[in-house]
Structure 1
Amino acid sequence: MLKKLFGKKSVEEQLVAPLNGKVVPIDEVDDPVFSQKMMGDGIAIEPTDGKVVSPIAGEIVQIFPTNHAVGIKTKSGVEVLVHIGLETVSMEGEGFEGHVKTGDKVNPGDHLITFDTELVKEKAKSTITPVVITNYDDVIESFTPSYSDSAVAGETSVATLQTK
């Protein structure tokens, strides 16, 4: 009722692939924090290379010091986390290079992070990259994922979101 009184409208947004690769359901990620949606709902990508781009327009709200993950917040309040690989924080930034900083405005396809896929395969559990809406319960009315065997970073839609 208050939303109607104050004019807050539901917004539809598209998430595009942040990496080239295969888009899979988040519950296929071999880590319960992601597969059991403890951090929120989303998708995951099995990357074919190490260039990470923004999946959505917004502002960088967090870039981890190790450059293995980045958080983006949209104008409508959706918070998206791109977490490169599993157990990559233990690499302490080795093989990761950030190209953005907190406060930067980004659009879909803007370059965020580069990482060495071979090094991640060698030193971490997996290269699979969860893309999670961390405030899902607070802001998402509906979430429709789109799976693909060959998503193109910055172009292929991987989900349609409808905010509350």
Structure 2
Amino acid sequence: MFGKLKGLFGGSAGISIAAPMAGTVVPLEEVPDPTFAQGILGQGAAILPAEGRVTAPADGTIDVMFDTGHAVSMTTADGAEVLIHVGIDTVQLNGQHYKACCKAGDRVKKGDLLIEFDPEAVKAAGYETVTPVIICNTDRFAAVKTEKTGPVAAGDVLLTLQAK
């Protein structure tokens, strides 16, 4: 009961998930992949990258760093399970144009470098670079709110998660 009262009267601002890269925020529904666009993996937002760096969106632990370097999942210190998937169908590149900068089990701080990639080379290979940022345990939260539209800098608040 008191948790609900705090929410009503401004007690908790929620859990912040930062933009893992600079670029332009795109609504998840506009991502050209139904798994992401329909929210099958969870709610969130996407970023059309302006650079080839992916940073930790919060403090936490890396759960999976894909061998191909195109995606990473982590659990934040607040318990949010975040998937960052750089590009659409980019697993097919077999790691070409991607460099993993962390591994499963690593503890990371917000802003730590997770992945480097070459956005122009990915596009030249025929792949979209739009990057979904998904909260995979969405059902644990009362709401997942996108805080930014348009241009975003790495580290800006992208999503706010409200506890149930």
TM-score, normalization: structure 2?
0.89
Q: CA offsets, 1:32-90, max 9 Å, x none?
A: 00000010000000001101101111100000000000001023321000000001000
Q: Which runs of 5+ in 1 are unaligned?
A: 2-9
What is the aligned counterpart of 2:124 among 104, 110, 122? 122
Tell me how far 1:159 sits from its aligned partner: 1.1
Q: Which runs of 5+ in 2 are unaligned?
A: 2-11
Q: Which amino acid aligns with 1:84?
A: V
Tell me how far 1:11 sits from its aligned partner: 8.2
Aligned residues of 1:24 and 1:147 also touching (Cα < 8 A): no
Tell me how far 1:149 sits from its aligned partner: 2.3
Aligned residues of 2:22 and 2:49 also touching (Cα < 8 A): yes
- The 1-side partners of 2:131 and 2:13 are apart by 26
Tell me how far 1:148 sits from its aligned partner: 3.0
Give runs of aligned pairs for residues 15-164 of structure 1, distance below 5 A.
15-137=17-139, 139-154=140-155, 156-164=156-164
Aligned residues: 155
Percentage of identical aligned residues? 42
Aligned residues of 1:58 and 1:75 also touching (Cα < 8 A): yes
Q: Which amino acid aligns with 1:140?
A: F
Greater Cα shift, 21-30 or 10-19 = 10-19
Greater Cα shift, 61-70 or 124-133 = 124-133
Q: Which amino acid aligns with 1:104?
A: D
Partner of 2:8: none
Aligned residues of 2:138 and 2:144 also touching (Cα < 8 A): no
SS at 2:105's partner residue? coil
Aligned residues of 1:58 and 1:106 also touching (Cα < 8 A): yes
SS at 1:126's partner residue? coil
Greater Cα shift, 46-55 or 115-124 = 115-124
SS at 2:132's partner residue? strand
Aligned residues of 1:91 and 1:124 also touching (Cα < 8 A): no
- The 1-side partners of 2:150 and 2:76 are apart by 27
In structure 2, relative to structure 1, the CA distance for the partners of 1:107 and 1:134 (3 Å cut) is same
Q: CA offsets, 1:97-145, max 9 Å, x none?
A: 01111111112111100001111102243000000011111x1111111
Aligned residues of 1:60 and 1:72 also touching (Cα < 8 A): yes
